[in-house]
Amino acid sequence: MSNSEIDKRYTIGDDEELLRLLSFPSCFKKNGKLATEAFSLYREKETYVSLNRLCYSSYEEAITLGGKIKVWKTKEDEFCGYAQLNAKGIRDVSLTHIRLDSKYRENFKGHAGISYICDTGKPYVNHKGSVEPEWILLLQQKLCKISKVVRTK
């Protein structure tokens, strides 16, 4: 199947660029580097980390959206920028424990998500108060390393 035949609504090509909206202070270490929390699941029963697809929205639209988000990891958090990642780079982090999916909806075309896949083949589900397993922390560390971070505040 050629790139022109792929339905981009439901398929994320390896060449796509995606943004993870970031908040401060949770997404950053004291030294200013990106923290694993940037790729954590923090809502009850959450199964994926939300991303914005640049093929459907611009940087400016993503930044505007970030400014409107009211629920972050902590009450002290506020939108501060984004991490840019390449789809192939995300997939290369793990062939078995990361899945990158389009979450396309007519009212939010640029939505995508990273799911952490358990050995059972099912996505990991966050439960309030639970600590993410070490295997997810290792994946998050790798995602931090391949991210290009842009602070807007």
d(CA 130, CA 16): 32
Three-class SS of residue 105?
Answer: strand
Radius of gyration of the chain (CA): 15
For residue 110, what are the CA distances in angstroms to 15, 28, 65, 77, 103? 15, 25, 11, 24, 8
Model confidence over 100-153: pLDDT tens digits?
999 998 888 899 999 999 999 999 999 987 889 999 999 999 999 999 999 998
pLDDT reading at 29 higher than 60: yes
**67, 153 in Cβ contact below 8 A?**
no
Which of the four pLDDT bands, split at 50, 70 and 90, describes residue 2? Answer: very low
Q: What is the pLDDT of residue 108?
A: 80
Model confidence over 33-87: pLDDT tens digits?
999 999 999 889 999 999 999 999 899 999 998 988 887 888 899 999 999 999 9
By DSSP bridging, strand 111-116 and strand 17-24 are unpaired
| Tokens linked to 36 | 């694993």
**80, 139 in Cβ contact below 8 A?**
no
Which of the four pLDDT bands, split at 50, 70 and 90, describes residue 1? Answer: very low
- Average the pLDDT over 94-98 and give the result: 96
Looking up tokens 């840019």 gives: 84
Q: Which residue has the higher pLDDT, 89 or 153?
A: 89
Looking up tokens 């501060």 gives: 80
Residues linked to residue 73 through DSSP beta bridges, in sequence order: none
pLDDT reading at 6 higher than 90: no
Sheet architecture: strand order including 111-116: 98-102, 111-116, 49-53, 17-24, 78-86, 148-151
